[in-house]
């Protein structure tokens, strides 16, 4: 027979109290990764634009 409690099954006990957490390192890593992704997108976009310009000049010369 199951034990009966006054709390529903979905309620969990609260975590023990901790001090404030420092998220500065995690935030710094996120900023650096976002910068790397931005640079990769800009380089890729520039390469695609250069390819389109090259193809357009080749097609115009023909």
In a domain, 55, yes or no: yes
* Per-residue pLDDT at 27: 93
Domain of residue 55 covers: 37-62
43 falls within a domain: yes
Q: Could you read off the pLDDT of 44-54 as tens digits, one per residue? A: 999 999 999 99
pLDDT band, residue 4 (cuts 50/70/90): low
The pLDDT of residue 60 = 84
- The domain tally of the chain equals 1
Is residue 28 domain-resident?
no
Has residue 53 been placed in a domain? yes
pLDDT in tens, 20-43: 777 898 999 999 999 999 999 999
| 11 is a domain residue | no
What tokens appear for 55 in the block? 């193809």
């Amino acid at each position: 027979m199951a034990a009966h409690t006054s709390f529903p099954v979905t309620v969990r006990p609260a975590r023990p109290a901790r001090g404030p957490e420092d998220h500065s390192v995690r935030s710094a890593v996120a900023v650096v990764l976002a910068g790397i992704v931005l640079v990769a997108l800009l380089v890729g976009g520039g390469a695609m634009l250069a390819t389109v310009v090259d193809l357009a000049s080749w097609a115009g010369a023909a």
